[in-house]
Amino acid sequence: MKRFLCACLLALAAATSALAMDLHQGFGKYPFGKSCKELFEGPSFGIERARPIWDRQLQMFGLAYDPEVVAKSPFVLYYDKDEKPEFQGVPLGRIYYGCDKDSGRFSLVVLAHDLISVRQLVQQTTALLGEPTNTTMIQTIWALPNLYVQIDQVFMIIYDRRAGKI
């Protein structure tokens, strides 16, 4: 009986590690670089009016709602109306999947969260990516060669530098 329990625990541990999120490859079941038409089409998907904007001077993302600024964004954001979002066990408000306007490829994720979740999100991301490259009072950033992750008070933004071009 003990051998059976040990075998079950080992199988469960292997299955859990296989399901662990690899942010270098994509987000959840969506791989970076894939066609957004293939990934985010269907009746449960909507298009968000806000758009991510990269601030070259500050080297960080912001979200814009102003139509003039939105028109300049290289991204379109999709969301699944039926999704019950979470990140590594941390509940979220909504997940927005960003697609490059020119290439139509998936390259960015915006996670809406509450202020209480920031500490947990930073801990979970640190466990996945290692120590952040920059931390201030209001945001934590991982600027890796192929991945950029920013956590602030209301959003976590994950950007695959290979699939995009900012």
Report the C-alpha gap between 111 and 92 in whole angstroms.
Answer: 7
Are residues 65 and 96 in contact, defined by beta-carbon separation less than 8 angstroms? no
129-158 pLDDT tens trace: 999 999 998 899 999 999 999 999 999 999
Judging by beta carbons within 10 Å of its beta carbon (0-12, 13-18, 19+), is residue 106 exposed, middle or buried? buried
Query: How many structural domains compose the chain?
Result: 1
Residue 7 lies in a domain: no
CA neighbor of 148 nearest in space, from 158, 140, 162: 158
Q: Is residue 88 part of a domain?
A: yes
Give the confidence band of 164 by pLDDT, cuts at 50, 70, 90. low
CA atoms within 13 Å, Cβ hemisphere of 163 = 29
- Amino acid of residue 85: P
In a domain, 5, yes or no: no
Amino acid symbol at 62: G
pLDDT digits (tens, 9 = 90+) for 116-131: 999 999 999 999 999 9
How many CB atoms are located within 10 Å of the residue 69 CB? 14
Rounded to two decimals, the pTM is 0.84
Q: Is residue 96 helix, strand or coil?
A: strand
Judge whether residue 45 has pLDDT over 80: yes
Name which residue leads in pLDDT, 133 or 3.
133
pLDDT of residue 14: 35
Q: Is residue 1 one of the residues assigned to a domain?
A: no
Q: Which domain range does residue 66 map to? A: 31-160
Domain membership flag for residue 11: no
- Give domain status of residue 93, yes or no: yes
Q: Is there a domain that residue 22 lies in? A: no
In a domain, 62, yes or no: yes
pLDDT band at 21 (very low <50, low <70, confident <90, very high): low
Residue 64: strand pairing partners? 51
